Amino acid sequence: MPTANQTLDEILNLAAAHFKVPREKLNADDDFFKALGVDSLQTLDLLTRLEHHFHVELPDYELQGVTDFRTLAGRIQARL
Amino acid sequence: MLDLRQYTCLGAALRDALDRFASEICLIEADRDREKVRLTYSDFKETALPLTRALEDADFDPGDRAAIIMTNQSKWLISAYSIFYCGGILVPLDYKLTAHEHLQLLAHSKAKVLFVEYHLWRAITQAPDFHAIKTKIVLVTEVPLGADLAGAFRWEDFKRKGAPDFVMRQKDDVACIVYSSGTAGRPKGCVLTHENYLEQCRSLTAWYPFWPGVRYLSILPTNHAIDFMVGFIGPFVCGACVVHLRTLRPDFVRDAFVRYRITYVSLVPMILKNLERGLRAKFDELPAWKRFFLNRMIAINKLLTRRRPKVRLSRTLLGGVHRGFGGELLALITGGAFMEPSTMQFFYDLGIPVVNGYGLTEAGTALTLNDLKPFRADTVGKPLPGVELRILNPDGEGIGEVAARSKTIMSHYLDDAELTLETIVDGWLLTGDLGRFDGRGHLQLFGRKKNMIVTEGGKNIYPEDIETAFDGLPVKEYCIFAANYVWPQKELAHEMLLLVLRLDQNQQFDSKLLAEIDSRNRTLPDFKRVGAYLIWGRDFPRTASMKIKRQILAEEIGKTGERKAAVTL
């Protein structure tokens, strides 16, 4: 099982690739709506990619109120 | 469909629909690629009656109120039917509100019963003010094994044998209390009668009928007026089928169109734009010759559907695109927020009509709708049958406040006679929206008179509700406005919340204060966040009781401050 830091790192890599944003511009505590310039539907799109990558299922409500990569990583890590 | 003129209440109409269309499928519920529920009208009735009987046995009496806080799913509609069967009043609450807001609205509505999903109930029980809850019976769905329900019951276990007693209601009895704004300011509970809904259903289905075999994809929250009508009452009284999805990820939504061969769907701009982006990206990936061919087909379709949609022809010309939507889509219904004309035109040119409309919770569901004779992307359509609209105090360009009179207009605001008197004057609902009629009887909207914004996701946001997130901000005073209220734009685009700051004497706006604002802003859901701030050089005008005179302040800023001085957050 990956460590929490590895999970976080993989999420940042996937988000950067998915939204075509330079990886070095993304930080763990960034507000991803702002850092990626996306709306809530686009973040749901990202969530689907993350589910495939980590082989987990996250209900939509798990993302409600989550706005930074670190918290998102925590939610995924809890289900690994 | 049922002849709704014969009914005095929703419960009776729904009860007859369950018998009349007994063998038709009424509900499908899917989670990702797994179908979880498929019910006929007869199955629906069999599930609802034991719940209804249990409610009656638990002293849920006619006129009592019951709230629902659930995402779109079959148990939402079954619970609502049970409430109406008992003669109760339904209070549909937005599941995206916070637990604290849910508690406030439960208290304001005096709901005796609550139907709620487990994850939402867990959040409510953990809120600091949970101890004050007065709701007597709480029924929770999707409860994990061994979960502590804090005195609530499992929805699935709350049933009793024996036929419940049907309670008939009259047309002017209250059917629903629907909240059209948040909680921190002044909760606006729109009290809607059975007649309001029956009339709304009649006028909508007169233009866009449902029938057995129609499959309606229910994406907008059912607590919202549009989905409640078009994703529940309308399809049910016509014997149609409603499809619910437990996840609204764009991937799964796209799959659902195909898997369930969807006929109609209602969307807010954010979702329609997402679909447009996806389609454009696919078109861009096509080899040059295919792209050329597609463009020619679109041009031919556009020419042949100028006067009215010809769905069969469009499906032949643009088969690939239509198969991507299941091949049976008749129209996309939009409303609840400003829709870019270019997005609507994009879909119409592909042979997928977009039916744009305009309404507000206070008016039931919709006041106007496009009749597609012909399609217009630049208006919100014509008044629906039975709706009278007029423009108050029009300016030189014919633009003024839209006022509406119809049997669909709410009775009043719950426990707020003053606001009701300000909003419904001589039987006319003052909408606060600015518009004018063109020569063909279509309504065009040009902004708002009221201090609020509507997001692309269809959420009404009142600045007063946001201000508590900035409580204790280290400045002399602050206030939040809709930017278009301060600087009227005569358009509905570019809506944004503006934080106006008055600094203390000798205080400098520095990075620490900016970080504090940023951090407060992030405590809000993304659609409620402030988009820009403005430093204001004068004290705010206040009433004797020290309340900010918002309108006067907005006028002062509008006259002397410039929009470009606002700094984007």
pLDDT tens column, B340-355: 899 999 999 999 999 9
Q: Are residues B297 and B425 in the same domain?
A: yes
Residue B349 included in any domain: yes
Q: Where are the domains of chain A?
A: 4-77
Question: What local confidence, expressed as pLDDT, does residue B426 receive?
Answer: 96
Average pLDDT, rounded, for chain B? 93
Q: Are residues B407 and B507 in the same domain?
A: no
Whole-angstrom Cα Rg for chain A: 11
Sheet holding B477-482, edge to edge: B477-482, B497-502, B532-535, B567-568
Other beta carbons within 10 Å of A53: 13
Average pLDDT of the segment spanning B135-158? 95
Distance (Å, rounded) from C-alpha A56 to C-alpha B395?
Answer: 58
Residue B24 included in any domain: yes
User: Beta strand pairing status for B453-454 and B460-461?
Assistant: antiparallel
Distance (Å, rounded) from C-alpha B50 to C-alpha B59?
Answer: 15
* Out of A31, A45, A61, closest to residue B522 by CB: A31
Q: Which B residues in the span 83-142 are in contact with A, Cβ-Cβ below 8 Å?
A: 96, 119-120
Q: Which of A32, A38, A44 to probe by mutation at the B interface, max B CB count within 10 Å? A: A44
Distance (Å, rounded) from C-alpha B235 to C-alpha B245?
Answer: 17
Indicate the residue among B241, B259, B277 that finishes a domain. Answer: B259
Please tell me if residue B515 touches chain A, with a CB cutoff of 8 Å.
no
Would you give the distance in Å from CA B363 to the centre of its chain? Answer: 13
% residues pLDDT > 70 (chain B): 99
Average pLDDT of the segment spanning B22-38? 95
- In the numeric block, the tokens 């984007």 are attached to B568
Q: Which tokens hold the place of A46? A: 């990202």
Question: What local confidence, expressed as pLDDT, does residue B493 receive?
Answer: 72
Identify residue B535 by its one-letter amino acid code: I
Residue B481 included in any domain: yes
Q: Is the pLDDT of residue B130 over 80?
A: yes
**H, E, C per residue of B139-197:** EEECCCCCCCCCCCEEHHHCCCCCCCCCCCCCCCCEEEEEECCCCCCCCCEEEEEHHHH
Question: What local confidence, expressed as pLDDT, does residue B274 receive?
Answer: 87
Please tell me if residue A33 touches chain B, with a CB cutoff of 8 Å.
yes
CA dihedral for A16, A19, A21, A26, sign (positive or negative): negative
Q: Is the pLDDT of residue B162 over 60?
A: yes
Average pLDDT of the segment spanning B246-274? 90
Lowest mean pLDDT among B473-482, B487-496, B523-532: B487-496
Q: Which B residues in the span 18-57 are in contact with A, Cβ-Cβ below 8 Å?
A: 32
Q: Cα-flanking dihedrals φ and ψ of residue B22, to 5°?
A: -45, -40
As to burial, measured by CB atoms within 10 angstroms (0-12 exposed, 13-18 middle, 19+ buried), residue B549 is: middle
Q: Are residues B254 and B274 in the same domain?
A: no
Question: What local confidence, expressed as pLDDT, does residue A60 receive?
Answer: 83
CATH domain A4-77 topology: 1.10.1200
Q: Is the pLDDT of residue B526 over 90?
A: no
Q: Are residues B287 and B399 in the same domain?
A: yes
- Alpha-carbon distances, residue B555 vs B340, B375, B464, B482, B549 (angstroms): 28, 38, 17, 12, 10
**H, E, C per residue of B201-237:** HHHHHHHCCCCCCCEEEECCCCCCHHHHHHHHHHHHH
Q: Which of A14-23, A58-67, B230-239, B250-259 has the highest mean pLDDT?
A: B230-239
Q: Are B231 and B278 in contact (CB under 8 A)?
A: no
- In the numeric block, the tokens 């004018």 are attached to B436
Q: What is the CATH number of the domain that holds B224?
A: 3.40.50.980
Q: What is the CATH number of the domain that holds B522?
A: 3.30.300.30
Please tell me if residue A27 touches chain B, with a CB cutoff of 8 Å.
no
Residue B386 included in any domain: yes
Q: What is the CATH number of the domain that holds B439?
A: 3.40.50.12780
User: Beta strand pairing status for B453-454 and B264-267?
Assistant: unpaired
Residue of B nearest to A43 (CA): B249
User: Would you call B390 helix, strand, or coil by DSSP?
Assistant: strand
pLDDT band for position B184 (cuts 50, 70, 90): low
Question: What local confidence, expressed as pLDDT, does residue B269 receive?
Answer: 85
Q: Are residues B11 and B112 in the same domain?
A: yes
Other beta carbons within 10 Å of B550: 17
Q: Are residues B417 and B494 in the same domain?
A: no
- Alpha-carbon distances, residue B359 vs A30, B40, B365, B509 (angstroms): 37, 31, 6, 42
Q: Is the pLDDT of residue B183 over 60?
A: no
Distance (Å, rounded) from C-alpha B384 to C-alpha B48?
Answer: 33
Domain holding B514, by residue range, is 462-568
Q: Are residues B474 and B407 in the same domain?
A: no
**H, E, C per residue of B4-17:** HHHCCCHHHHHHHH
pLDDT tens column, A19-75: 888 999 899 988 888 888 887 778 888 888 899 999 998 888 887 778 889 999 999
Q: Are residues B228 and B277 in the same domain?
A: no
Q: Which residues of B touch A44 (CB under 8 A)?
A: 248-250
Tell me the pTM.
0.89
pLDDT band for position B428 (cuts 50, 70, 90): very high
Cβ contact, residue pair A41, B271, below 8 Å: yes
Q: Are residues B101 and B226 in the same domain?
A: yes
Q: How many CA atoms lie within 13 A of B120 on its CB side?
A: 23
Q: Which A residues in the span 1-20 are in contact with B, Cβ-Cβ below 8 Å?
A: none
Q: Are residues B218 and B331 in the same domain?
A: no
Please tell me if residue B258 touches chain A, with a CB cutoff of 8 Å.
no
Question: What local confidence, expressed as pLDDT, does residue B548 receive?
Answer: 87
Q: Are residues B233 and B318 in the same domain?
A: no
Q: Are residues B301 and B201 in the same domain?
A: no
Cβ contact, residue pair A42, B247, below 8 Å: no
Q: Is the pLDDT of residue B68 over 90?
A: yes
The ipTM assigned to this model is 0.83
DSSP B350: T
Cβ contact, residue pair B274, A47, below 8 Å: no
Residue B454 included in any domain: no
* Total count of domains within chain B: 3
* Out of A47, A65, A67, closest to residue B249 by CB: A47
Distance (Å, rounded) from C-alpha B568 to C-alpha B515?
Answer: 13
